[in-house]
Amino acid sequence: MAKKHVSFIIVPHGKTCSRTVSLSKRTVRALQAAAVVLVFLFAAVTADYVRIRLAGEDIRTLRALNEKQSREIALYQSSVGTLENQLKVLGEKASKLNVMAGIRSPDLLASAGYVGGLSSSQAPGGAPPPITSGQLQNVRQKAADIERNFDTLASFFQNKAAELATMPSIWPVRGWPSSGFGWRPDPFTGLQTFHYGLDIVAAFGSPVAATADGIVISAGFDRLLGNNVRILHGNGRTTIYGHFSKIMTRIGKKVVRGEIIGEVGSTGKSIGPHLHYEVRVNDKAVNPYLYILEE
């Protein structure tokens, strides 16, 4: 019995001779099966490639969305931090106004959260800290407290323009505060002494202004304050200005807030050009910074 086979005649292009290739039917079926397998493998590889490409597009889309959300979160956290700082400034102004109005003492203001501001610490590496619901609630509560306090202050100060004019509320000179109110080492002896005012370093001859309306009750020289001026503002409030190089007012003169009363010098007990500034209430020294409303 003849063996079953399949013959292929190959005729090369441009030649007259031909070539015959004979394959058994079993071989042909094996080649057909191999071709089918290759087709399926190619289809599977193609499908997997398409799936990988699509997955890559999804990953890129998710990465872009994540970066956008990260930027938005960072901006949101920065906005909350800015709001906290603004509330801190408003709280400090409210505390000063409360002291001036006599509504609350500085200790009560501190316990109520007006002094010292809100927490806006940075996370390690300088990145903004995560915003918590408690922090947001704290910001809302602080804003509501300050708003209520300002409403109270607005009512209190209504129709008190004349009294406000006599309230020390501005910087007496433009300069650099070098020594505040309270205990400090004496610059001459090094011993701890109480400083009853605020020292502001400024250029020699800088103009010094009255910080509120009032009447000059003293304008002269003593060994500690050198050339100095005292102004009575009413309601027990007095301001003192020391170490002038030149006094530019006189006893009994009515002055208004911002009026120039002298020039910065270094007379009296002084180690350099500066202004010594005091605020007294019923002849008791108080922290002048509590009354300064300017930045």
Residue-wise DSSP of 103-137: SS-HHHHHHHT-SS----PPPGGGPPPPP-HHHHH
Location of structure tokens 């500066």: 274
Pick the CATH number of 167-291 from 3.10.310.40, 2.60.120.260, 3.40.50.300, 2.70.70.10: 2.70.70.10
User: Residue 103 — very low, low, confident or very high, per pLDDT cuts 50/70/90?
Assistant: low
**2-6, 101-105, 283-287 — which one is most confidently predicted on average?**
283-287
| Nearby residues of 32 by Cβ (< 8 Å), 6 or more positions away | none
Number of H helices and E strands in the chain, helices first, is: 4, 14
Residues of the chain with pLDDT > 70: what percent? 77
Torsion sign, CA atoms 150, 153, 159, 160: negative
Location of structure tokens 């947001």: 136
Tokens coding 23: 């394959």
pTM (predicted TM-score): 0.51
User: Residue 121 — very low, low, confident or very high, per pLDDT cuts 50/70/90?
Assistant: very low
Location of structure tokens 């309270």: 182
Q: Give the integer Cα–Cα distance in Å for 92 and 87.
A: 9
pLDDT at position 132 is: 67
Per mean pLDDT, which range of 178-187, 204-213, 249-258 is the poorest? 178-187
Say if residues 143 and 87 touch (Cβ distance below 8 Å): yes
Q: Is the pLDDT of residue 170 over 50?
A: yes
Average pLDDT over residues 132-142: 73
Q: Which residue would you say has higher pLDDT here, 190 or 264?
A: 264
Q: Which residue would you say has higher pLDDT here, 127 or 243?
A: 243
> 3-state DSSP call for residue 237?
strand
pLDDT at position 123 is: 45
pLDDT at position 286 is: 95
pLDDT at position 174 is: 94
**DSSP string spanning 25-38?**
HHHHHHHHHHHHHH
Q: What mean pLDDT value characterizes the chain? A: 80
User: Residue 295 — very low, low, confident or very high, per pLDDT cuts 50/70/90?
Assistant: low
Q: Is the pLDDT of residue 13 over 70?
A: no
